A and B are shown apart, each in its own frame.
Chain A
Amino acid sequence: EAQVTQNPRYLITVTGKKLTVTCSQNMNHEYMSWYRQDPGLGLRQIYYSMNVEVTDKGDVPEGYKVSRKEKRNFPLILESPSPNQTSLYFCASSYRGLSGELFFGEGSRLTVL
């Protein structure tokens, strides 16, 4: 089954404790992206990757890092999480081409105390 898998789905952590949210897709998609969703602010793009070893900032990259060492994986790294990074995070992937339908993961709800 074609899918985008995120882990963990839920996480409560404390300020400053490094964490990684993993994202994996099984559709051989070139494009992958991370979003955060906050009440009243909709979906905002954090980082995206057009292909392996190619990443770029979205609208809200501060406090986040990403890497794209393999085509299928695109982890989101919070080196020193802060309470303002409490949010619902979504990973998405697509072919890079014209059809470009985005497939989203189920989301990861992160709480930073």
Chain B
Amino acid sequence: DAKTTQPNSMESNEEEPVHLPCNHSTISGTDYIHWYRQLPSQGPEYVIHGLTSNVNNRMASLAIAEDRKSSTLILHRATLRDAAVYYCILRAAGSGNTGKLIFGQGTTLQVKP
């Protein structure tokens, strides 16, 4: 099962962009890159996902390296409500989808006012 590697923690100032990195050097061709975040005292929530091309939604952007061995979650303007643990995981598609998911410890993002 492919694993991801993320920094344990990062800090950001409010209203500045944040780039959260994730390494997934053993990614396979059918793995989708998913990002989730967990606010204090809540269950994880979906943020964004992608396969090869960069993706944007109302919450964030996902930049995927050309070789797909790394990706970056971009929060364009961090707010205090973005302080959370961010998880990068790989989810296999099609017949490769065994259902097994490895979350790891994620990156704890602190946002300073």
**Which residues of A are in contact with B by a Cβ distance under 8 Å?**
31, 33, 35, 40-45, 48-50, 56, 58-59, 90, 92, 96-107
Q: A98-B93, A102-B46 are in contact. Are A40 and B105 (CB under 8 A)?
A: yes
A33–B103 Cα distance when bound, in Å, is 13
Interface size class of B (residues with CB under 8 A): 20 to 34
- By a CB distance below 8 angstroms, the chain A residues around B91 are 100
CB closest residue in chain B, given A97: B93
B87-110 vs A: 1/0 string, CB under 8 Å? 100010110011111111110000
CB closest residue in chain A, given B99: A48
CB closest residue in chain A, given B93: A98
Say whether A33 contacts B101, CB under 8 Å: yes
A45–B104 Cα distance when bound, in Å, is 10
Say whether A104 contacts B43, CB under 8 Å: yes
A33–B97 Cα distance when bound, in Å, is 13
Determine which of A33, A50, A98, A101 lies in contact with B46 in the assembled complex, contact meaning CB atoms within 8 Å. A101
Determine which of A42, A90, A100 lies in contact with B34 in the assembled complex, contact meaning CB atoms within 8 Å. A100
Say whether B44 contacts A90, CB under 8 Å: yes
Instruction: Tell me if B16 counts as interface (CB < 8 A to partner A).
Output: no
The 11 sampled A-B contact pairs (Cβ below 8 Å) are: A42-B87, A42-B106, A43-B104, A48-B101, A50-B97, A58-B100, A58-B101, A59-B102, A96-B97, A100-B93, A102-B101
Q: A103-B46, A104-B44 are in contact. Are A31 and B105 (CB under 8 A)?
A: no
Q: A58-B100, A96-B97 are in contact. Are A105 and B32 (CB under 8 A)?
A: no
CB closest residue in chain A, given B97: A96
Say whether B32 contacts A45, CB under 8 Å: no
